Structures are given as structure tokens and as C-alpha cells.
Amino acid sequence: MDVVVGGPIESDPNNAGYHFAKDNTLGRMGKIEDAADQIDIALSMDPNNLDYHSMKRFALKQLGRLDEIIDDFDVCITIDYGNPALHFAKGEALMELNRYEESLDEFNKSIGINSENPEYHEKKGKALKEMGRLEEARKEFDVAASLKGKHS
């Protein structure tokens, strides 16, 4: 069954936007594997589009392909290294894989770019706690609490 999408850009299969729209439609229909195929086509046409990468990671997570999510984060970080949210999200994905040392590196990168985000410190504290580094974890939780108080 072919999926019909509308709009001038979305009706041209030679346009990445068409495949992105088709990805969204298929995803809403629960056809995650087909949606992932469409987003791969869109990315082949526009490999630096971070929105497309975000949709790819969403599909991969739905499919339980967490290691591939890490690979996609590596691509995105190459595109926009100074984006702390990318490092943070990669760190979270690494934690889901119990790769705490690597997640800690990513949280440190996030904090190096934006030290005022309490969530970055909190997740770093959780990674440290999982690694048994409780004193360091407590310090990060204290920093997170202090920053939350500052921003409320």
C-alpha cells in the first residue's frame, strides 16, 4: 500500500521533504520499519538535516536498535559539535545501554558548553552514582539543586 502525502514539496518523491512527510505518516500508522526506510531516503538527500536525524533516532528507539542511535548521534555531533543538547541526549542513550563511562564523557561535554543547565549536572550525577562514585555524584546533585534554585 502506498501512502499519499499532500502539498507541493511533499508530493515530489525527488524531494527530501516528501520522504520526511511519508515517514511521519507511516510512523503514525505504526509502520515504524517503513518509516525508518523513508527517513533514510530523506537523509540520503539532505544528510545534515538534524530534524531528519531526530526522526531517525525516534524510529530506531521504537525498533529497539539503541546502538544505531549512538551512531546517529555521532553523525549529528559532527554536524553541530557545539550543541550541548546533542551531547546530553547521546549521554542519556549511552546510559540506557549501561555504558556509564561514555555517558559521563558526553555529560561533561554538555556541561563544558553550558554549565548552567541543572539537568546536565543531574544526569552526570546519576551516571557517577551508577559507577559507584557516590561522593562525586552527590556534588553534581548539589550543583543541580543550586542551579534549579537559581533559575526558579
Residue with cell 530506531: 60
Residue 21: predicted pLDDT? 87
Confidence of residue 79 (pLDDT cuts 50, 70, 90): very high
Cα gap 39→23, rounded to integer Å: 6
For the chain, which residues make up each domain, given as ranges? 1-64, 83-152
What pLDDT is attached to residue 10? 55
Q: Whole-model pTM? A: 0.86
Q: Does domain 1-64 have CATH number 3.40.50.1820?
A: no
Assess whether the region 1-64 and the region 83-152 belong to the same CATH fold. yes
- Superfamily of segment(s) 83-152: Tetratricopeptide repeat domain (1.25.40.10)
Separation between Cα atoms, residue 114 and residue 103, nearest integer Å: 16
The C-alpha cell of 147 is what? 542551579
List of long-range contacts for 108-112, beta carbons under 8 Å, 24+ apart? 109/84, 110/84, 110/85, 111/84
